[in-house]
Structure 1
């Protein structure tokens, strides 16, 4: 995978070299070479004779998975049936074979074995073919570099969101949260390279305390330990599930989550796409609603496995085929477009080329195309990306605290959280209707292109399109420039500024600060100001959370301030 993340400081792992024939130290005679063991995708001929039945789906799909299908009118098909256990047993019986996983959708098994054993497996009558998933030496992957760009001062924001306000407000997520759609009752699966410190960070405390982290699965190592490896997953998850008022709020702070490690950053082979497939089938069977995947594939450690742009046609790459089936069974797949906009490749990477999924590109805080964000179309001419969200200088929470990062890796989960809560607000929609309404709400809906797709979606617009008889008022969906705010926030400084909405400009203001116990700690009288920015007198405040009440002759509003 080429991370859709541009500030990656990857832990580099040495690849495993093919075994070489050593010489006897006395005679000099070459010793027998140790066969190289690789992973392979073994395709079966059919599902004939399987003990599983579409009339008894509870044997392989959860009640929640079945409810998702029923709600969207999706019929069960033979692809939903598990592989024939008898076929799996035949493969396992070949000496030297280790079974890793099976795939319902591909009617296949993932095994590891050497080439001699693979040849034996190919002779089985139940086997249709095989695809090798990793070859040669897996060299360490060099981290991608962030494109050079001037530092941006984050937009002023209501204190609850901290530095995450602009990216949430841009797509209408603040209004969405105020309308009580925060992802409650929805399940999101996050596929990534690791989630270190998630079980220790304050921003995720509600997720753990409220038992909304439902499951974890490390597909790479075949265990449940995901709080390890690369922190790319931690950063992506923060934009979704972060919930620390006064510091950071993600776009789906009340959803439930299932975390998957599918990516091994130590090397790059198609086996990671097979891991994506395994995770998607797990998510399907568990009843997940939305998959957020900030992953992309185009080139590999062995050039012969590389894709070409012509392969970005929605039906070639393993991960693309898996994402397409995931959409067909009723899950909303949200995938990053990729960071190839400045590279020779330029275009989207797999599985962003899949049809029926929501591919997300990146814009700046000023709503302009981020230069690194991959371009469309797909090789067969479909508009990609579908939509965009902030990805340059996006707000994140690192294990060490809040910060910024750039990449479509972050615009993807920011958008996935909004899409999840939008679906929560309109639960009778099918997954393709969700995508259509989000596209129709986009800033370029009337004239989409292959740079920004349908543009920046907006929750209120999408909601009103989906619910014309009960529309939400758009008045509360003020852009950042029209919102009352105090900044910097959180603040370590005594100097503070007020960003005044139009209702507070040109009139005397009374500003009162209350501590967390409701005690008035400071009161200010401000002369009328026609400008939007007002510098407050130095305020020597103790650490804590404060409520700032701003009053004019006709309006009154509160915002929160966090003093660090």
Structure 2
């Protein structure tokens, strides 16, 4: 993550500005969504997003819930006369990020529908850096499908070369990228497939970093580590994936940077809604304006305070796994070298950086979290990463957790390509449980360095609580004159389906020791007859699906 603190000059100017004006950026949280239960318009959640949610929550009765509905328009209207402007609203947090005159806060807090008001937090400002010559000696692959040039080291470090040779490129996987903007005119992006993009800063449909939008080319550099393909020069870890791009960062105004947190959350909600499979982000929110209400501190890194952190949890509940850079504060003093939000999250992957082996890079932020959890989750090469230059043909080396993060997100996309039935939870486990220090994680590189092929070959069945039986349902229910029992298996094996009465007596064997392939869906018809061919009486029955030592049971109501 190529980040730096604001210079002392800028910090002093910012503090002076805040002392002269009472306008500041705040989050306003609402108590409820009064229109939710009576809404006539269902939120527009894409079929792809619903499919991902079902993988994560196979037993849910509602793939669309209250968190998908917008903030109350009546509440916003009631607040309008007290606000300077609304930066963004969050469906997931049921909140609005606003510019407000501080003298209006007591009045707003007294409104009956207001739950909480809190200051918006500033992100760590993304700064321009300079390229540098390589410290490492060149390496060559004994044999590989592609010529990687100077990007061979970063791909080999996570075994992406072997995965590419095996035919995986991220094809069919949608990766969300949240950053400063993206210039796609470089030769290395000639084959990139962008399925959607959005500018959450200027709202003009242009996510590039050119003209008045120019900041640091940070987003372009980050994207090139995962999405580029220019043989003999630079190949990203997931060059065949589909990309969703979001520009959320604004370096032009110190005060309005405080809205970046809301932009990041809005981008994540949008990406989830339109069907992203995973998200890579290389920004953070921590320790930018120390000693002010606009800064998170060490005790806030507890996985339940930072707003972007809470957003990653909600995304995970919907099956969307976020990869975020741990931060570049490792070279600072003991109290400040910690990870940043949202990388303190409990259900996301925080990525640190190493040098040429498994040694943590000096700049890489470390754990633990405020509540004692190991962080970062994993780490990859983050020193002298080959990326594109700011022009259209050149290349250069950069360092930072901003670059190790997309490398890891890319190999996760390769694993999803190989295992399309995986849920977000299974991908999360696969990345951490197959890394080099999975048996003994630490606070510098977490569970260690991930390996693309080990993630691809990960078997969720190795988990003690793993159940291969997914998406169980029977229809119709109540049943008459028949019902179909349907489920999906995430592994190959043999299964049985039996019907029992409420006393535990066997009524009917539907399937017995039948074979099933990984990813296959079974639809077993029950004609409501017992094993003797007689129609069963009305009432409640139990069906049980069994595979090896795992099973799932459900109730069926039979009516005449």
Please give the TM-score of this superposition, normalised by the length of structure 2: 0.72
Aligned-pair CA distance for 1:468: 8.7
Tell whether 2:407 aligns with 1:426.
Answer: no
Number of the residue aligned with 2:71: 83
Shift, 1:238, TM fit = 0.1
For 1:341 and 1:333, the matched residues in 2 are separated by 22
Q: How many Å separate the matches in 2 of 1:56 and 1:71?
A: 25
- Separation in 2, partners of 1:383, 1:120: 42
2:494 maps to what in 1? none
1:359 matched to 2:359? The reply is no
The aligned runs of 1:242-261 (5 Å cut-off) are 242-261=228-247
Task: Please list every run of 5 or more consecutive structure 2 residues that lacks an aligned counterpart in the other structure.
Answer: 463-560
Alignment deviations for residues 349-375 of structure 1 (CA, whole Å, 9 cap, x no partner) = 111100111111111123422111111
Deviations 1:511-538 (A, max 9, x none): xxxxxxxxxxxxxxxxxxxxxxxxxxxx
Question: Aligned-pair distance for 1:326?
Answer: 1.6
Q: Deviations over 1:315-367 (max 9, x none)?
A: 11122112222222111100111111111112211111001111111111234
Question: 1:377/1:467 Cα in 2 relative to 1: closer, same or farther (>3 Å)?
Answer: closer
Report the equivalent of 1:415.
Answer: 408
Measure the CA separation in 1 of the matches of 2:283 and 2:45.
Answer: 26
Cα distance between partner residues in 2 of 1:375 and 1:134: 21
Which residue number corresponds to residue 394 of structure 1? 385
8 Å contact from structure 1 (residues 42, 130) kept in 2: yes
Offset at residue 18 of structure 1 (A): 3.9
| 97 and 468 in structure 1: CA distance in 2 versus 1, 3 angstrom threshold | closer
The change in CA–CA distance for 1:142 and 1:312 in structure 2 (over 3 A counts) is closer
Q: Structure 1 residue 438 and structure 2 residue 431: aligned?
A: yes
The whole-number CA distance in structure 2 between the counterparts of 1:180 and 1:44 is 49
State the alpha-carbon separation in 2 of the partners of residues 134 and 358 from structure 1.
Answer: 22
Deviation for aligned residue 1:457: 1.3
Contact 1:378 1:384 in 2 (8 A): yes
1:430-468 Cα shifts (integer Å, max 9, x gaps)? 112112112222111222211121111112222222289
Aligned-partner Cα distance in 1 for 2:312–2:367: 18
Query: By percentage of residues, which structure has more strand?
Result: 2
Which residue matches 1:205?
A: 190
Aligned 1:343-492 pairs, distance under 5 A: 343-344=332-333, 345-400=336-391, 401-466=394-459
The 1-side partners of 2:310 and 2:372 are apart by 17
Matches within 5 A, 1:258-273: 258-266=244-252, 267=254, 270-273=258-261
Separation in 2, partners of 1:467, 1:175: 22
The number of equivalent residue pairs is: 440
Q: Counterpart of 1:104?
A: 91
CA contact 1:40–1:111 (8 Å) conserved in 2: yes
**1:65 is aligned to 2:49:** yes
Q: CA deviation at 1:144?
A: 8.3
**2:288 maps to 1:309:** no
Q: 273, 278, 285: which is aligned to 2:266?
A: 278
Contact 2:223/2:406 (8 A) holds in 1: yes
State the match for 2:36 in structure 1.
Answer: 50
User: Which residue among 288, 298, 301 is the counterpart of 2:286?
Assistant: 298
Q: CA deviation at 1:272?
A: 2.0
Question: For the structure 1 residues 426 and 188, does the alpha-carbon distance in structure 2 shift closer, same or farther, using more than 3 Å as the test?
Answer: same
Q: Which residue of 1 aligns with 2:490?
A: none
Q: Work out which of the residue numbers 99, 116, 120 in structure 2 matches 1:129.
A: 116
Q: Distance in 1 between matches of 2:422 and 2:457?
A: 13
Secondary structure of the residue aligned to 1:342 is coil
Q: 1:141 to 1:468 in 2, by over 3 A?
A: closer
Shift of 1:223: 3.0
CA distance in 2, matches of 1:256, 1:144: 27
Please say if residues 41 and 111 of structure 1, whose CA atoms lie closer than 8 Å, have aligned partners that are also in contact. yes
Provide the rounded CA distance (Å) in 1 between the counterparts of 2:130 and 2:441.
Answer: 27
Whether the aligned pair in 1 keeps the contact of 2:2 and 2:129 (CA below 8 Å) is no
1:170 and 2:161 aligned: no
Closer, same or farther: CA 147–454 of 1 in aligned 2, 3 Å: farther
CA spacing shift, 1:398–1:144, aligned 2, 3 Å:
closer
Partner of 2:514: none
CA distance in 2 between partners of 1:19 and 1:314 (Å): 29
C-alpha distance 134-413 of structure 1, shift in aligned 2 (>3 A): closer
Task: Return the alpha-carbon distance in structure 2 between the equivalents of residues 97 and 6 of structure 1.
Answer: 30
Once the 2 structures are TM-superposed, how far is the Cα of residue 216 of structure 1 from its aligned partner? 2.0
Check whether the contact 1:97–1:117 (CA below 8 A) recurs between aligned residues.
no
8 Å CA contact 2:387, 2:395 repeated in 1: yes
- Alpha-carbon distance change, 179 to 407 in structure 1, aligned in 2, over 3 angstroms: same
Instruction: Say if 1:190 and 1:257, in contact at 8 Å, map to a contact too.
Output: yes
The alignment yields a C-alpha RMSD, in angstroms, of 3.3
Q: Is the 8 A contact 1:39 1:132 kept in 2?
A: yes
1:377 deviates by 1.6
1:318 pairs with 2:311: no
Measured against aligned partners, the alpha-carbon deviations of 1:394-423 in whole angstroms (never above 9, x if no partner) come to: 111122321111111100001011111111
Report SS of the residue matched to 1:169: helix
Unaligned runs of 5+ residues in structure 1 are 22-34, 470-564
- Distance in 2 (CA, whole Å) between partners of 1:459 and 1:377 is 26
Alpha-carbon distance between aligned partners in 2 of 1:337 and 1:374, rounded to the nearest angstrom: 6
Q: Deviations over 1:266-289 (max 9, x none)?
A: 437543222211111111111111
In structure 1, the residue corresponding to 2:454 is in which secondary structure? helix
Partner SS state of residue 465, structure 1: coil
Sort the Cα spacing of 1:40 and 1:310 in 2 relative to 1 into closer, same or farther, 3 A: closer
Q: Provide closer, same or farther for how the CA distance between residues 96 and 369 of structure 1 changes in structure 2, counting only shifts above 3 A.
A: closer
Three-state SS of the structure 2 residue aligned to 1:298 is coil
8 A Cα contact 2:367 2:375, kept in partner: yes
Q: Tell me what 1:227 maps to.
A: 208
Rounded Cα–Cα distance in structure 1 between residues aligned with 2:133 and 2:188: 28
**Separation (CA, whole Å) in 1 of partners of 2:456 and 2:18:** 58
Q: Could you say if the C-alpha distance between residues 46 and 20 of structure 1 is closer, same or farther in structure 2, counting changes exceeding 3 Å?
A: closer
Cα distance in 2, alignment partners of residues 167 and 96 from structure 1: 48
Check 1:245–1:150 CA distance in 2 against 1; reply closer, same or farther (3 A cut): closer
